Amino acid sequence: MQNLIKLLLTGLTMSLSANTETITLGAGCFWCVEAVYHKLDGVQSAVSGYMGGHVDNPTYEQVCGKKSGHIEVVQVKYDSEKVSTEEILAWFWKLHDPTTKDRQGNDEGPQYASAIFYHSPEQQRIAQASLEAAQPDFAAPIVTYVREAETFYPAEDYHQNYYELNKSRNPYCRYVIAPKMKKLNLDK
């Protein structure tokens, strides 16, 4: 009986993971991006980190020093049966201004670039189509990079789930992230 249960659980786990996709997104400060994706149904995880640079295992200080080449990103794992790549990207276009090069609000520097790092040729196709479809919604040209995913380096532990853990005590959370969450109807 235990072997049957183990076999059934293994099959269930395999079927659930077969629907899991990963996409990595840069849209300014990763605290903001992560906060949004944590709220979406079908998102299994949203992890802040770094991608696209030339330094192995970069630190936050190196990335903010603007010399590592990395972009602050959030690696989103999602159940494609509950939320599509198109929906993930629809939120991406809503949560930041993709027309400002290396800048989101007062956050400025190459680490704040707008970027979609795709993990498959199908995601590349969807990302490019999504960008083209989003362009009419913006007065200026979209400057978002659409690039193949590279090595993902998770950010330090204190950056993970930052908004939820610090929303009442950190001024950045109160004055930057909270209004964005409210505007997107994600913070109730």
Query: Average per-residue pLDDT in the chain?
Result: 90
Is residue 29 flagged as an active site residue? yes
What mean pLDDT is predicted for residues 56-80? Answer: 96
Residue 118 pLDDT > 90? yes
pLDDT at position 144: 98
List 29, 32, 64, 173, catalytic entry: 29
pLDDT at position 7: 41
pLDDT band per the 50, 70, 90 thresholds, residue 115: very high
Question: Higher-confidence residue: 126 or 4?
Answer: 126
Q: Which domains does the chain have, with CATH numbers?
A: 20-162 (3.30.1060.10)
pTM of the model: 0.88
Residue 64 pLDDT > 90? yes
Q: What is the pLDDT of residues 136-184, one digit of tens each?
A: 999 999 999 999 999 999 999 999 999 999 988 999 999 999 988 998 8
> Do the beta carbons of residue 155 and residue 62 sit within 8 Å?
no
What mean pLDDT is predicted for residues 67-84? Answer: 96
pLDDT at position 25: 98
pLDDT at position 121: 97
